Amino acid sequence: MELITLFDVGGRIRKLRKERGISAKEVAISLGVSASFISGIENNTDKCSLENLERICRVLGVTLAGFFAEPSEDLAPELMRLLETAKKLSPEQREAVRKMLETMNKD
């Protein structure tokens, strides 16, 4: 018999929210729902529809694919935030950031 591991949606939301320094109340206000609803989702006592998950992901600055991707254990949370932000940049902006970082790293 194959063992299926369920994805902890609520735990993932809480982890991403805390890494970004966003309160449950701030997420709730952005979505127009109660903080207790967000708490219920994070504790897996309330169900989270795909529509609400997409909205929560937008508030947290992560794509749905990024939400379900296995987090890299090798990267610190602040580096993961930088990568998520970089994904939203145009190729030209990414190149400018890369050059800036290389310049800063020469010191």
Q: Tell me, yes or no, whether 52 and 100 share the same domain.
A: no
Is the confidence at residue 52, as pLDDT, over 90?
yes
Q: What is the CATH number of the domain that holds 65?
A: 1.10.260.40
Residue 3 in domain? no
- Across the range 93-105, mean pLDDT stands at 88
Q: What angle do CA 83, 54, 74 make, to 5 degrees?
A: 30
Which carries the bigger pLDDT value, residue 90 or residue 26?
26
Q: Tell me, yes or no, whether 43 and 85 share the same domain.
A: no
**Best CA proximity match to 53, nearest among 68, 35, 74, 34:** 68
Highest mean pLDDT range out of 6-10, 56-60, 75-79, 82-86? Answer: 56-60
> What is the domain range of residue 20?
8-71
Q: Is the pTM of this model over 0.75?
A: no
Q: Tell me, yes or no, whether 62 and 79 share the same domain.
A: no
CB 47 within 8 A of CB 72: no
Which carries the bigger pLDDT value, residue 75 or residue 57?
57
Q: Tell me, yes or no, whether 13 and 41 share the same domain.
A: yes
Q: What is the pLDDT of residue 24?
A: 95
Q: What is the pLDDT of residue 72?
A: 60
> Count of CB atoms within 10 A of residue 31's CB?
15
Q: What angle do CA 95, 98, 104 make, to 5 degrees?
A: 145
Q: Tell me, yes or no, whether 61 and 92 share the same domain.
A: no
Residue 61 in domain? yes
